[in-house]
Structures are given as structure tokens and as C-alpha cells.
Amino acid sequence: MSSLGTLGNTTLLLALAFSLWGLIGGAVGAIRRDRRLITSARMAASATFLAMTATVAVMEIALLTDDFSVSYVAETSRTTSPIWVKIVTLWAALEGSLLLWGWLLSGYWAVLSWVAPNTPLKPWALTVMAGVQTFFVGVPAIAARPFNSVFPVPLEGPGPNPLLQNHWMMAVHPFLMYLGFVGLTVPFAYAIAALITNRPGTEWMLNTRRWTLIGWGFLTAAIITGGWWSYEVLGWGGYWAWDPVENVSFLPWLTATAFIHSIQVQERRRMLKAWNLLLIILTFTLTLLGTFLTRSGVVSSVHSFGDGPVGPIFLGFFIVAFGLSMGLLAWRWDHVRDRSDLDHPVSREGSFLAGNVLFLAMTFAVLLGTIFPLFVEAATGDKVTVGAPFFDQATLPLWMGILFLMGIGPLLPWRRAPDQTLRGNLLWMALGAVVFGVASFAFGMRAIYPLITMTLVGWNLASLVLLVTGVVVPRLKIGQRGVAQVLRQYAFENKRRFGSMVVHFGVLVMAVGIMGSSAYRVDEQIRIDIGSSAPFQGYILHARDKFMEQTPGRISAGAVVDLERDGQIVTTLRPRTNVFAGQEMTVPTPSVMYRPNYDIYLNVASTVGPEQDFVVLRAVMSPLITWIWIGGIIAALGTAYALVPGVQGARATRDLKRGLEASQT
Amino acid sequence: MKRAVFGWLAIVLLAVPAAAWAQGDSGGVVELESRVFELGRQLRCPTCTSESVGDSSSAISIEMRNEIRDQIALGKSDDEILAFFQERYGDWVLLEPPREGIHLFVWILPVVGVVAGAAGLALLMTRWLAKARAPLDDVNDEDLARVQAAMKSGPDA
């Protein structure tokens, strides 16, 4: 019996016990309003976090010391792997990923238990967190056990999936993804607490505003970094293939994006109570459904690493969570129904509502396309495929609609648009749209979606300029200060608003990148003899040499290709294939020349053998693709800026405190 | 407003050359290879998990891309080439579900979803608009007393 395995099992069971206590004690305490019980259940959060931290630490020690008596280590690790690979092997397969998920969740739960304001919602919110936590500890503790003991102890393991250990993004992307999923559990917990305590006002969303933004920000960052990772390792020069795993990570993002917009309508106009509750319930349960779909093997994916027995368990939890949430919503229906009114459809709330419809329609289309093959197979027994061409056609019109609304929405005032200003603004935006559309056409763009995209980018840039001038110009008139100073002060005083403008600008940059790289990419398969050259898109590719490198645990074989333009060597690329010890799979490892206007992407189409005196390259020229990553960074910075505590946040907190004190007296 | 115009111009100057570049110099080879890729992206790689023939680096995908190239050289149309693979591997190989039979659902339902969403929103909006225009309900004494009490005690209470 392995000592680390025993230790890990013990701490995991402790975590399970603590989280169960958080659930049961919390629920009983909240029902009886028993302060001691509530406090005790609150402590369970910190205790669970400690136990989960210990569990993760034990697993890391087992991985780093190559303790193959622990089943997870024996199945996924290898002595020859570099240290960073051993560390991140924690989330290279299902059982370890669940540990990571449970650990991060316990971290959020613990932090929430420390910092959440003392509202009537808090005990219930913590109880819901405990319930989710119990599930995410229970699965690795009972069903997908990483600490089983292995006997006889193997001397060597296979190492993690080669696609994973081939790139350092492995250390970043999954972490961000779970931080996003787990972060969005907090507003869900508060939403359920709001339903249980029958306080469906804005309190629950004010309490969780930052958590929501943090969760959304991490999920967004995770999806974009995932795209970049695909670009760097999958070898075809793209970043998004509408693969089931990509789709199911995208679904909660869509509903969460709808959510962060529509809660503003409730904050300002007290509308959409039921709708917002529904959106956050959907967001949370879609993460469960997605995990079920991709971990159960019912839909196959290039990214599903290691299927386990947990598929049905996730399906069960999805059904229970969704059923209970919907039951609660139905129970409180009379209190959450909207009795509000709308002054004018052309208003901020009107545009947010329309945007909601588009986001939800896209959620529906993507979900349908992802699970449609299942339905058809169940109904007729036929195997069918729904792939990228379907998703492109189904989502592009909706994206165009969203871009359109993104331009007009922030310029519309709440309640009612004053006709004069609106007309002036629309005129400028139309001008921006026309300028961009005509310029794109003049430069030879003919395809319809790229043209519409560029037109809408013009529309949106005009809108952003109007938003900024709208606040800067009046302030300039009343004071002696310069433009930069005024802008800085505005940005400082309106962090959320300014942050959202930055995020929207990032979205535009990404839209341009997606447009260019998907509509105008050039893809060519080229065979070059070693020592000679071939032309590609204004470059001359010199296959200068081939190489073979061996490090412990890895063999790389590839070609050295000089890129020449106008008689000068611009850069040298080394596309290769890697083979990892213990794994049969050959992993293509492309080499990329990054440029702001286009990337040149080289991938060896087939392994360069020792006897071989030529190389077959897949050369891709991908216009503007870097803009996607830059846009992503801009959006991340904007989100972070909106999270900086500011005057606005302080004001909201103060108002909330006052409201609570008033309600308690 | 002039400032705004300059802002646009600056951005146009940045974005448009890139778009212009995108048109690039395109020879026959590039057009051929782009067509091969486009067709490949509509076919499922038979041996991979959920990758298209265009994306995949597997041996069979490379072979299928060569087949596409040969067929293009024979002067076949896109539809004919896709039909060739459909006949060989079945409907399953097409990443874009054909618009017939049971596949129609996947094409029609998203449209139904959008229309239903828009109709639902329109319905709600008309109802809310009507409500906003309707005269206020009679104020009862209790409400009035509450408002007056609130006003007397000031905003901070």
C-alpha cells in the first residue's frame, strides 16, 4: 500500500466530509436561522480548502517523485518528463482535472466565506457552494479515484497525452478554464440563495458583480488561449474547428455574456428578474452538461483526453441541478415575474434585450449542432456529422447582429432615446460604416461576410469615438484641462464603463482578425528537396537542412527553412514532428513567423525520415490572425480594469450597506 | 467632430492595407490549394476524432486531399467531388449536413429559434409598452403615507 496514496485518499475524504458538513450544517442552520450552526458551516469552507490543498499537494508530490504506486501517476506520468510537465500532469487526465476543479472551487468557496458581505443571502449561497463542492469532491473521492494503489508498482509510466505535453499552454489554458467555470458558480449560488430566501431583487447580483466579471473574464481568456494553443499545436493553421469540446466551453460563455449585459438592465430598470436567474442557472448547468457530453464519450472530440466513468454521474448532477433550479424558479414565479414596463424599444434596455435574444439563439444553434448527431443516431441509427460549415452558417448572421447592436447599444440612453442626439450619432456611425465598407470594397474585398464585418467594424469604431467624445468634449468646455487629463479622469471615475469600452474595442480587433484569417488564408502543400527552395506567397522557402534532436523522453525530427523576401533572409522556421517516449503518436509541431499583417505558418506534412532528402511542408499564410490574440489581450485588460475597485464600486457597496441597514431596522 | 473623423482615418489607414494585402498575388497554385483546403474542410477525416480532412495531418487526410487535387485536375466541380466522397464513405463524411430528410431539422430549428425569440421579445415589448403608456393605478392611502414618511425622513434613512 502506497503511503502517498493513503494520505491522498484520507485528505480527499476529509474534504468530502467538510463539504458535506458545509452543505448539511449550512442548510439546517439557514433554515433554523441558527447562528452557531451557520458559523460552523462557514468554517467548513476553509477546512475543505485546506484539505483540498493538501490533496493537490500530495498528488503533486507523487507526480514529482514518480510514485507509480499511485494509480493516477502510473497512468499519466513518466520519469523522463521535465519538471513543469510533471507539475501540470495534475490536469492532464480526467481524475486529476477533477481534483483541480474541486481545489479551485474550494478556493472560491473559502474566499467567498471570508469576504462576502453579511447579507441574508450569504448562508444559503455558501450552502449552495457546499453542495456543488460536495459533488466535485465526491466524484474523485468515490467514482474517479486518482489515489488507487497499484501493485506491482510499475517502473515507468506512459506520460501525459503528447498533444498536451507538447506546449507550455498546457500550464495555462486548463487552469483559466476551470477558474472561469468555478467563478461562475458564485453568482449561480447567490441566484439560488435569492430564490430560496425569496429576495429576487438586485441584491444577489450586486453581491456577486465582481465574481461574475472574474468568472466571465477567465472563461473568455481561457477560450482565446485555447484557440492560440490549437493554432500552435494542431498543425493546420487554424484556431477554432467547432469541435464538441470547443462548443461546450463556448455555450456557457454565450449565456454568461448575455448575463453580464442583462443584469445591467435589472440593476437600472428592475426588469428581467426571472430572465437573469434563468441565464445564470443555464450558464452553470451548461458547464455540467458540457462536461458530461465530452467526458462520457457520447460525442468524440480531438480535445477529450481520457474518458472515465464520470459521464453518467455528470448527467445525473446536471439533471438534479437543472431540475432543482427550475423547480425553485417555478416556486417563486409570482415574485420574479416582471411587472415592469418599457418606455421605448429604442433604448439601452431595448438593445440589451435584442442582444440577449441573439446570444441565446446562438447558444441554441451551437448546442443543437453539437448534439444533433446523437439524436439522429438514436432515432434512425444513422451516423451523421455536423461540422464547421454548419456552425459557420448558423452563427455568422447572429454575430453580425451582435456586432450591430454592440455599436448602437452603449450610445442609447436608458428608458428613451432623445431623437436629436440619436439621429446625429446614427449619422456618424453610418458614415463610419460606409467609409469602412467602401474602403474594403475598393481594396478588393468581395466576399459578403468580410465586407459586412468591416462595415460593422467601422460602425462600431464610430460608436466608440462618439462615446469618448461624448464624455470628453463637454468636460473640456467647462474646464481648463487638456484632453488627456480629462480622459484619464473619466476613465478613473467610470471604471466599469471605460473597461467595457476597452473590451468592446478588443472584440472589434478580434473580429478583424477572425475575418482576415478565415476568409483570406492561403493554404498550400509544398515539396522541397533539402538544399533547394520553393516560392510561397512572395517568399522563397529555402529548405536549408533537416535535423533530428533527442532529449530524454522526446525525439524531434524536422526541417530548417529560411524565409527569404526581396533577397534577404527574414527569418528561419523549424517545423518538426515530436515523438514522446511511451507514446506512439507523432505530434506535429508547426513553426510560425508572427507578423501584424499576416503569419507564415509551416508544418511538416509527414515526418522527415533519416534517409529522406526532401520535406513536404504545409505552408499557410494567415492574414491578420495575430489581431485575434491582440484583441484578446485588450479585452482581458479591459475586464481587469473594470474590476479595479473604484468610486463606482465603493458607491454601490455603500448604497447596498445603507439599504441593508435600513431593511434590518 | 473633426477629431472623430481623424480617428477613423487613422484606423482605416491601419486596417485597410492589411485587407488590401489579403488580396495578395494569387497564382494558379494558390487558388488550387485553397480550393483543396475548402473542400477538405467539408469532409470528415475518417480516422481522426472530429477533425476535417482540411485540418488533419493524418495519412488518410493527406491522401484524400491528393484525391481532391486529382479530381480538380480532371475538371470536376465541387459538388461532384463531394458526391464522390459521399458515395464512398456515406453521408457521415460530409461535415455540412445535406439539406434533406432528417438533416433538415438541424438547419430549420436554429431559424425557428431566432424567429421564436424575436417574436417572444416583440410580444413582451408591446405588453410592456402598453403598460408604460397606461395611466398609473390609483394611489392608495397606505402607499401615499409611506412616500410621505420617506420624504420627511430624508434620503439617508
| Candidates B16, B23, B31, B50, partner chain A, best to mutate (most A CBs within 10 A) | B50
Residue range B93-107: mean pLDDT, rounded? 87
Residues A155/A217, Cβ–Cβ less than 8 Å: no
- The answer on A106 and A121 residing in a single domain is yes
What residue of B is the nearest CA neighbor of A384? B92
Q: How far is B101 from chain A (nearest CA, A)?
A: 11
Query: Which amino acid, A441?
Result: F
Q: How far apart are CA A330 and CA A333, in angstroms?
A: 5
Q: What is the pLDDT of residue B112?
A: 95
Nearest beta carbon to residue A342 from set B56, B114, B129:
B129
Q: What percent of chain A has pLDDT over 70?
A: 94
Per the domain annotation, does A634 fall within a domain? Answer: no
Chain B hits for A436, Cβ within 8 Å: 12, 15
Q: What percent of chain B has pLDDT over 70?
A: 77
- The answer on A349 and A310 residing in a single domain is yes
- The answer on A409 and A390 residing in a single domain is no
DSSP class of residue A70 equals: B
Residue range B91-114: mean pLDDT, rounded? 89
Confidence of residue B51 (pLDDT cuts 50, 70, 90): confident
Among residues A471, A495, A519, the one where a domain terminates is A519
- The answer on A289 and A154 residing in a single domain is no
Per the domain annotation, does A413 fall within a domain? Answer: yes
The CATH number of residue A38's host domain is: 1.20.120
- The answer on A346 and A249 residing in a single domain is yes
Q: Which residues sit opposite A620 in a β-bridge?
A: A523, A601
Indicate if the pLDDT at residue A378 is higher than 90.
no
Indicate if the pLDDT at residue B5 is higher than 60.
no
Q: Which residues sit opposite A587 in a β-bridge?
A: A578
What are A419-460's pLDDT values in tens digits? Answer: 777 888 999 999 999 999 999 999 888 899 999 999 999 999
Q: What is the pLDDT of residue A655?
A: 62
Per the domain annotation, does A649 fall within a domain? Answer: no
Query: Going from the N-terminus, what domains does chain B have, and what CATH number goes with each?
Result: 23-96 (1.10.8.640), 103-153 (no CATH)
Confidence of residue A296 (pLDDT cuts 50, 70, 90): low
What are A102-157's pLDDT values in tens digits? Answer: 999 999 999 999 999 999 999 999 999 999 999 999 999 998 899 999 988 898 88
Q: How far apart are CA A227 and CA A521, in angstroms?
A: 16
| Candidates A166, A307, A352, A357, partner chain B, best to mutate (most B CBs within 10 A) | A357
Residue range A19-31: mean pLDDT, rounded? 95
Q: How far is A76 from chain B (nearest CA, A)?
A: 21
Counting one residue from chain A and one from chain B, the pairs whose CB atoms sit within 8 A come to: 210
* CB of A122 less than 8 A from some CB of B: no
Per the domain annotation, does A663 fall within a domain? Answer: no
Cβ neighbors of A196 (< 8 A, separation 6 or more) are A30, A124, A328
Among residues A403, A420, A437, the one where a domain terminates is A403
Indicate if the pLDDT at residue A16 is higher than 90.
yes
Q: State the total domains in chain A.
A: 4
Pick the closest to residue A124 from A184, A197, A185, A198 (CA basis): A197
Residue range A386-400: mean pLDDT, rounded? 94
Confidence of residue A285 (pLDDT cuts 50, 70, 90): very high
Q: What are phi and psi of A416, to 5 degrees?
A: -150, 140
Cβ contact (<8 Å) for B4 and A469? yes
Q: What is the pLDDT of residue A302?
A: 62
Q: What is the pLDDT of residue B157?
A: 43
* CB of A520 less than 8 A from some CB of B: yes
- The answer on A289 and A218 residing in a single domain is yes
Which burial class, exposed, middle or buried, applies to A489 when counting CB atoms under 10 A from its CB (0-12, 13-18, 19+)? Answer: middle
Indicate if the pLDDT at residue A304 is higher than 90.
no
Confidence of residue A84 (pLDDT cuts 50, 70, 90): very high
Higher pLDDT, A214 or A477: A214
* CB of A374 less than 8 A from some CB of B: no
Per the domain annotation, does A506 fall within a domain? Answer: yes
Chain B hits for A389, Cβ within 8 Å: 41-42, 95-96
| CA distance to A287, A313, A341, A382, per residue, from A247 (Å) | 11, 21, 36, 22
- The answer on A414 and A394 residing in a single domain is no
Per mean pLDDT, which range of A251-265, A464-478, A564-578, B44-58 is the poorest? Answer: B44-58
Cβ contact (<8 Å) for A436 and B15? yes
**The C-alpha cell that represents A327 in the structure block:** 423547480
Q: What are phi and psi of A601, to 5 degrees?
A: -125, 120
Which burial class, exposed, middle or buried, applies to A158 when counting CB atoms under 10 A from its CB (0-12, 13-18, 19+)? Answer: middle
Q: How far apart are CA A114 and CA B140, in angstroms?
A: 44
What residue of A is the nearest CA neighbor of B6? A465
Q: How far apart are CA A153 and CA A143, in angstroms?
A: 22
Per the domain annotation, does A593 fall within a domain? Answer: yes
Per mean pLDDT, which range of A184-198, A212-226, A404-418, B125-139 is the poorest? Answer: B125-139
- The answer on A152 and A26 residing in a single domain is yes
Q: What is the pLDDT of residue B4?
A: 52
Q: What is the pLDDT of residue B22?
A: 46
Nearest beta carbon to residue A588 from set B37, B57, B132:
B57
- The answer on A427 and A397 residing in a single domain is no
| Candidates B43, B99, B106, B109, partner chain A, best to mutate (most A CBs within 10 A) | B106
- The answer on A388 and A248 residing in a single domain is yes
Q: What are phi and psi of B77, to 5 degrees?
A: -85, 165
Q: What is the pLDDT of residue A664?
A: 53
Cβ contact (<8 Å) for A623 and B22? yes
Cβ neighbors of A395 (< 8 A, separation 6 or more) are A362, A365, A366
What are A512-559's pLDDT values in tens digits? Answer: 999 999 989 888 888 999 999 999 999 999 999 999 998 888 889 999
Q: What is the CB neighbour count within 10 angstroms for residue B6?
A: 10
Q: What is the pLDDT of residue A658?
A: 63
C-alpha angle A587/A588/A594, rounded to 5°?
135
What residue of A is the nearest CA neighbor of B117? A357
Per the domain annotation, does A665 fall within a domain? Answer: no
Per the domain annotation, does A662 fall within a domain? Answer: no
Q: What is the pLDDT of residue A202?
A: 87
Chain A hits for B106, Cβ within 8 Å: 368-369, 372, 386, 390
What are A161-210's pLDDT values in tens digits? Answer: 888 888 888 889 989 999 999 999 999 999 999 999 999 888 898 889 89
Residue range A297-319: mean pLDDT, rounded? 74
Higher pLDDT, A552 or A575: A575
Chain A hits for B103, Cβ within 8 Å: 376, 384
Domain that holds residue A273: 175-181+198-403
Q: Which residue has 462576502 as its cell numbers?
A: A116
Greatest CA separation for chain B: 89
- The answer on A440 and A476 residing in a single domain is yes
* Rounded-to-5 percentages of helix, strand, coil across chain B: 70, 5, 25
Cβ contact (<8 Å) for B55 and A341? no
Q: How far apart are CA A233 and CA A303, in angstroms?
A: 12
- The answer on A446 and A594 residing in a single domain is no
